[in-house]
Structure 1
């Protein structure tokens, strides 16, 4: 555990020492890549803990988890996102994770003195995250992540290092309650330039007696510094191999407010979990569609 704390302190010092320059395409990380089926603070379906490093922790008996996620808004100027992740639980109980995520906007064209297109504008961002998570005391898991981010906007390319801390309080005696909080893309001292996010969620079992037969109800909140905010209730119900999820999200940005519905279905088969989800139109774009696949290898 001491090594985990040293790792975190070094990461935060490293992130703080970098040059204060804003990185293009930060707004692409306001799309819920890997977090349409689940609230961001609890999202672990692709096995990444992309939004909360503590969510990547594997339980005793689980050895390796691999995951992929794909998100698309469709249309000529849609947003696409892809995520690959891997997590490994060591004998010490620490879970080490690595993920690679990319988001981009297609269909942005460059024009000259007339409407005729003279090429495409590259607007994209890549995020590589290395994380560590461990249960510190019963029911409390903490995680740390170091992230390298590249942003591209036409010919401008910049990079930055961020460090994030997350906590998940889980399996509490009262209705199996869970509470999760985390930062996302935090560069200490650079909050105005890089607009870090704060994600949080809490839920509890209202019906059922096990993880494979239950109905859960909760609430989530995501805040981006000087950016979009969203909050709302969510519901999930699982019956053996099938799990259905839905959320009502009320978001605000630039003085406007919009309410959207997220819904999806996950299927558990052997060591695999396959998920499909949909969110109604966001930011003037078409509906968001997400596909996830994860697999757990046990000891």
Structure 2
């Protein structure tokens, strides 16, 4: 459904007045789960960015630095691609400070006039820079804050805005090592109606196993954009030493439309490195979305 919204822009064209009604262009691009196809957005920590939930950027005791990259692509000439670069540093007092830069764009949009001949490409893209702070407040509770600067461009229109987000993660709970996470995304106080912030949430429990290195988990994820797309569904994960596999069945709605799709992925852990590959199946005749992540923890 998310890609139906974006590719609909290319298929049917934009109304100029509609584009200018957006406070910052290309807000729709941040409905794509950049860095969060392998994991639910509210719990996504694989790329080490805290992009969707600033609380997930917190590093555990004993780790000092984390670096990560993520890349997302629809694998077609006309589709969405995104990149993410992140770094985090755990200070001596236990606070983790993070910085990430993310970019998302639609490619292959061709400008024409009265005939089909191309007159060049139409830029439609957005860049999001986030400064994040997170730390454990009490046992089992980690909270994070993020200050964000977003720039968007649609053809000749370029604008920017500042947003702030708050996220929390309840973790290592006594009942089946349960986790619960909630966060805002792109919240601009007083501008909620026109700039459409999102709320992301997820929870999971351990079904089997005795440690994070050998376990099976079951959970549920949900996210909602104000006056925009909503998605929800169950997910499962399993890890055995260096290998982790995940799958989610997500139901997405936008207006009167709805679609169900599968997300799946595989991650390999070696020493202080983690490499992940994930896939979201295509809908409405569109190709699948692929994601690659790489992260490293340093002591």
What is the TM-score of this pair, normalised by structure 2? Answer: 0.92
Map 1:1-299 to 2 at 5 A.
Answer: 22-282=23-283, 285-298=286-299
Q: Deviations over 1:173-208 (max 9, x none)?
A: 111000000000000110111100000000010100
**TM-score under structure 1 normalisation?**
0.92
What is the CA–CA distance in structure 2 between the aligned matches of 1:52 and 1:285, rounded to whole Å? 29
Residues 262-271 or 283-292, more deviating? 283-292
Residue 285 (structure 1) shift: 3.3
1:267 and 1:235 map into 2 onto residues whose CA distance is: 17
Secondary structure class of the residue paired with 1:290: strand
SS of the aligned residue for 1:93 comes to coil
Deviation beyond 4 Å, 4+ runs, structure 1: none
Deviation at 1:282, TM superposition (A): 4.9
Q: SS of 1:111's equivalent?
A: coil
C-alpha contact (below 8 Å) 1:36/1:290 kept by paired residues: yes
What whole-Å deviation, never above 9, does each CA across 1:218-238 have from its counterpart, x for those lacking one? 000000001000000000000
Q: Distance in 1 between matches of 2:209 and 2:23?
A: 48
Q: Deviations over 1:221-270 (max 9, x none)?
A: 00000100000000000000000000000000121110000000000001
SS in structure 2 of the partner of residue 133 of structure 1 = strand
1:288: how far off? 0.5
Gaps of 5+ in 2: 1-20
In 2, are the aligned partners of 1:32 and 1:40 still within 8 Å (CA)?
yes
Where 1:165 maps in the other structure, the secondary structure is strand
Measured after TM superposition, the shift of residue 217 of structure 1 is 0.3
Worse-matched range after superposition: 29-38 or 282-291:
282-291
Q: CA offsets per residue over residues 135-187 of structure 1, 9 Å max, x none? A: 00000000000000000000000000000000000001111000000000000
Which range moves more in the overlay, 72-81 or 267-276? Answer: 72-81
Note the C-alpha offset of 1:78.
Answer: 1.1
Greater shift in the superposed pair: 168-177 or 280-289: 280-289
8 A contact 1:25–1:153 mirrored in 2: yes
Cα distance, 1:114 vs structure 2: 1.1
Higher deviation after alignment, 168-177 or 281-290: 281-290
Unaligned 5+ residue runs, structure 1?
A: 1-19
